[in-house]
Amino acid sequence: MARRKKIYEGKAKTLYEGPEPGTIVQYFKDDATAFNAEKRDVIEGKGVLNNLLSEYFMMGLNNIGVPTHFLKRLNMREQLVRACEIIPLEVVVRNYAAGSMSKRLGIDEGTQLPRPIIEYYYKDDKLGDPLITEEHIAAFGWASQQDMDDILSLALRVNDFLSGVMFGVGIRLIDFKIEIGRVYDGDFQRLVVADEISPDSCRLWDIETNQKLDKDVFRRDLGNLTDAYSEVARRLGVMPKNAATPIKPTLIN
Ligand code: TMP
């Protein structure tokens, strides 16, 4: 059996060369890490849930005209995506204070912000993904001014979409992180939402109870992580009611 080429192994996903040039297979692992991998565990089923949830969000974005790298889900753990050059930024959008913003600025978690706040972090594990400003991005040439305009617009569109979808199932979108990739079409480049969108990279609180349904459950030892992610999947209809495992995959061509 031919062995496929591994391109990159990250903390939660492995990337393999795709079947056609310009494509990549994203494999979702069960590994969970926090605090720059100081805390780690293997959480059975997390990869399957994130694969399905990320498909759901990325397809929704594609359908409303927000470009993403997502092409199709291949099976329970893998999806086919367009190869792109990842801009070395973690783009965080916050609607309510939480996490590092609450700590840094002394604002109670759950406080509604006057408007969505966008933050940029430099994607570098060795440095612990430090918070940076647009000055750093421009000075070090990580992205052009045109890129930054496009990134801001993508981030806000993703925020509106995700906030609405989550609100519809009784979940408040506190904040989230996205990554942006460059794809080349001949002489042109355009930016797309890349990586994943899942409860690993969002804060999701139940609107009624404020129960956390995201990776903070793991970061803060608040309970069973797959139960939390399954609840999100169940509410979105990605998983049937009361099922222990997600709906069987259907291949989209
Ligand atoms: P923070 O409050 O820890 O800065 O996190 C903000 C958002 O970004 C939160 O939804 C979790 C997400 N996030 C990631 O996806 N990856 C990371 O490495 C970190 C630190 C946060």
| CATH number of the CATH domain containing 79 | 3.30.200.20
Q: Which residues contact 187 (CB under 8 A, 6 or more apart)?
A: none
Domain span at 136? 85-206
Residues 17 and 119 in one domain: no
Residues 166 and 196 in one domain: yes
* 218, two tokens: 């793991």
The answer to whether 89 touches 103, Cβ cutoff 8 Å, is no
The answer to whether 217 touches 226, Cβ cutoff 8 Å, is no
Residue nearest to atom 13 of ligand 1 (CA): 201
d(CA 34, CA 219): 6
Report, in angstroms and rounded to the nearest whole number, the Rg of the chain calculated over CA atoms: 18
The number of the ligand 1 atom at minimal distance from the alpha carbon of 200 is: 15
Instruction: Tell how far the Cα of 118 is from the centroid of ligand 1, in angstroms.
Output: 12
Residues 62 and 115 in one domain: no
In a domain? residue 130: yes
Q: Determine the 3-state secondary structure of 250 from DSSP.
A: coil
Q: Determine the 3-state secondary structure of 136 from DSSP.
A: helix
Instruction: Tell how far the Cα of 247 is from the centroid of ligand 1, in angstroms.
Output: 28
The answer to whether 230 touches 49, Cβ cutoff 8 Å, is yes
Instruction: Tell how far the Cα of 148 is from the centroid of ligand 1, in angstroms.
Output: 20
Instruction: Tell how far the Cα of 195 is from the centroid of ligand 1, in angstroms.
Output: 14
In a domain? residue 189: yes
Instruction: Tell how far the Cα of 215 is from the centroid of ligand 1, in angstroms.
Output: 9
The number of the ligand 1 atom at minimal distance from the alpha carbon of 201 is: 15
Residues 78 and 141 in one domain: no
CB-based pocket (< 6 A), ligand 1: 92, 98-101, 129, 175-177, 201-203
The answer to whether 214 touches 201, Cβ cutoff 8 Å, is no
- pLDDT per residue rounded down to tens, the chain (253 residues): 667 899 999 999 999 999 999 999 999 999 999 999 999 999 999 999 999 999 999 999 999 999 999 999 999 999 999 999 999 999 999 999 999 999 999 999 999 999 999 999 999 999 999 999 999 999 999 999 999 999 999 999 999 999 999 999 999 999 999 999 999 988 999 999 999 999 999 999 999 999 999 999 999 999 999 999 999 999 999 985 556 667 655 554 4
Residues 72 and 115 in one domain: no
d(CA 61, CA 71): 12
* 191, two tokens: 């930016």
Q: Which residues contact 148 (CB under 8 A, 6 or more apart)?
A: 134, 137, 138
pTM attached to this predicted model: 0.95
Residues 110 and 71 in one domain: no
In a domain? residue 243: no
Domain count, the chain: 2
